[in-house]
């Protein structure tokens, strides 16, 4: 088929709004919060200009945003909401309800640090905290990926073998507020790609009334429901890969669970996600041109976590550095990505050495010098076979 993209210069939030316009959901319920605000503002204008069929519910809080999204999705509607940071935290209990009711709600979350101290800049503490809520989590490197992920999220979430809500994650300000080159698909192409949503049940099915969110108090099926959610997560690996491939066919931009750079001959590697991938990729390319055998893995899908595939990709390496833009405050256990990767490597017959770099909390810049510093240490680990410090804070004032 002929791939037709229109190239524009746009900020990340507008790229997401554009994806939302093209998905044309039945209901959007959202509340403004920095740095997500651009999405609700631009989308509100699209509603005001009659560009979408969407009912926009301008709720009084994020709690009500997710509640209304749950009510609307239970009514058979295709639903999108979006938030950041405190807003995501305020939705907390409802994240579990959305996934527990198996409602394929799509939610762009513009990553921002959680208070206190209050800070409006990027880190991944907000969505990493939601890693056990049974939501699909897709990370984006730039505005293009935020746009592409939003479109794919609708398909992934609604797939009958998945039926889980999906978060599209993009770094606050670095992606949300930066002008970037973004290739936009034609409306009909997106419309055809997402297709018509056919819900399995609906409050508004007049012939078949349903009770949703009922009480599991006496006969105890809770355990089975939760096991089914895990089953859906397992199923989603294949669906995410299939849809990523299909998206490649319409856009020229195929997607997988993660992306590798130079891993064919790498002796050590960095694993990173979000906007930092661009900086790391640049430095890795630079070093490789100087003959340093370093590779990089850009993690796109954090939930489900591709443990098996990552272990395979990392096996045979001497050392691995995991970059985390959030901490778990567990007492030297490291960031969430590190914990998952370390656990994924456990069953390998020969495990690479592993080290964690926590960076960029509250928007602290990740400079090329800091990456060089980490790579220098990683090279030492690879050659010495010794990890001196398991968890390191990169760019911290000391």
Partner 1 sequence: MSTKLKDLVMKPEILSGGHRLCAGCGAPIAVRQMLMGAPDNVKLVIANPTGCLEVSTTIYPYTAWKASYIHCAFENAASTLSGAEAAYQSMKEQGRIEEDFRFVAFGGDGGTYDIGLQALSGALERGHRLIYVCYNNEAYMNTGIQRSGATQLGSWTTTSPHGSNSSGKKENRKDLTAIVAAHNIPYVAQASISHWKDLVRKAQKAFAADGPAFINVLAPCHRGWRYDMEKTVEIAKMAVQNCIWPLYEVDNGKWNLTTKVPKKQDVLEYLKMQGRFSHLFKEDNKHLLPIIQQNIDEEWEKLLKKCE
Q: Which residues bind partner 1 (CB under 8 A)?
A: 26-27, 29, 53-55, 57-61, 63-64, 67-77, 79, 93-94, 97, 203-206, 209-219, 221
Q: How far is the CB of 70 from partner 1 (least distance, A)?
A: 5
CA distance 353 to 235: 31
Q: How far is the CB of 185 from partner 1 (least distance, A)?
A: 23
CA distance 148 to 16: 9
Pairing of strands 294-299, 79-80: unpaired
CB of 100 or CB of 336, closer to partner 1: 100
Q: How far is the CB of 163 from partner 1 (least distance, A)?
A: 17
Pairing of strands 166-171, 136-139: parallel
Q: How far is the CB of 79 from partner 1 (least distance, A)?
A: 8
CB of 211 or CB of 386, closer to partner 1: 211
Q: How far is the CB of 69 from partner 1 (least distance, A)?
A: 6
CB of 215 or CB of 329, closer to partner 1: 215
Strand partners, 5: 185
CA distance 104 to 156: 8
- Other CB atoms within 10 Å distance of the CB of residue 146: 29
- Other CB atoms within 10 Å distance of the CB of residue 152: 27
CB of 4 or CB of 64, closer to partner 1: 64
Residues 6+ away with beta carbon under 8 Å from 323 = 270, 271, 272, 273, 276, 280, 337, 357, 359, 374, 394
CA distance 305 to 317: 20
Write the CA distances from 335 to 276, 330, 368, 372, 376, integer angstroms.
Answer: 15, 9, 21, 20, 21
CB of 198 or CB of 350, closer to partner 1: 198
Q: How far is the CB of 345 from partner 1 (least distance, A)?
A: 39
CA distance 183 to 144: 7
Q: How far is the CB of 196 from partner 1 (least distance, A)?
A: 10
Count Cβ atoms within 10 A of the Cβ of residue 389 and give its class: 0-12 exposed, 13-18 middle, 19 or more buried.
exposed
CB of 4 or CB of 229, closer to partner 1: 229
CB of 28 or CB of 381, closer to partner 1: 28
CB of 51 or CB of 212, closer to partner 1: 212
Q: How far is the CB of 75 from partner 1 (least distance, A)?
A: 4
- Edge to edge, the sheet with strand 106-111 lists 55-58, 27-30, 79-80, 106-111, 166-171, 136-139, 301-303
């Amino acid at each position: 088929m002929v791939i037709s993209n229109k190239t524009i210069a746009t900020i990340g939030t507008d790229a997401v709004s554009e994806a939302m316009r093209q998905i044309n959901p039945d209901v959007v319920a959202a509340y403004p919060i920095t740095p997500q605000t651009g999405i609700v503002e631009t989308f509100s204008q699209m509603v005001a200009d009659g560009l979408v069929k969407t009912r926009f519910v301008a709720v009084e809080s994020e709690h009500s945003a997710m509640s209304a999204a749950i009510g609307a999705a239970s009514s058979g509607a295709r639903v999108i909401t979006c938030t950041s940071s405190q807003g995501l935290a305020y939705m907390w209990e409802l994240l579990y309800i959305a996934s527990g009711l198996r409602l394929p709600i799509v939610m762009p979350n513009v990553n921002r640090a959680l208070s206190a101290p209050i800070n409006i800049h990027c880190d991944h503490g907000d969505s990493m905290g939601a890693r056990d809520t049974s939501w699909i989590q897709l990370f984006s490197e730039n505005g293009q990926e935020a746009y592409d992920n939003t479109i794919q999220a609708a398909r992934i979430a609604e797939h009958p073998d998945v039926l889980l809500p999906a978060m599209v994650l993009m770094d606050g300000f670095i992606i949300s507020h930066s002008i970037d080159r973004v290739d936009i698909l034609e409306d009909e192409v997106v419309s055809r790609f997402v297709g018509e949503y056919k819900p399995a049940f609906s409050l508004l099915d007049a012939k078949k009334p349903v009770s949703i969110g009922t009480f599991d108090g006496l006969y105890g099926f809770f355990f089975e429901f939760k096991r089914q959610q895990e089953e859906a997560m397992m199923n989603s690996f294949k669906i995410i890969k299939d849809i990523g491939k299909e998206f490649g066919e319409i856009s020229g931009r195929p997607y997988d669970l993660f992306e590798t750079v130079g891993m064919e001959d790498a002796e050590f590697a960095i694993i990173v996600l979000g906007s930092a991938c661009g900086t790391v990729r640049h430095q890795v390319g630079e070093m490789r041109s100087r003959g340093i055998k370093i590779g990089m893995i850009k993690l796109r899908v954090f939930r489900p976590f591709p443990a098996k595939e990552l272990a395979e990709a990392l096996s045979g390496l001497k050392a691995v550095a995991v970059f985390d833009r959030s901490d778990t405050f567990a007492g030297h256990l490291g960031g969430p990505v590190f914990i998952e990767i370390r656990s994924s490597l456990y069953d390998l017959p020969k495990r690479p050495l592993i080290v964690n770099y926590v960076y960029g909390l509250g928007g602290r810049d990740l400079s090329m010098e800091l990456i060089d510093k980490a790579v220098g240490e990683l090279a030492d680990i690879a050659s010495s076979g010794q990890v001196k410090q398991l968890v390191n804070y990169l760019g911290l004032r000391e």
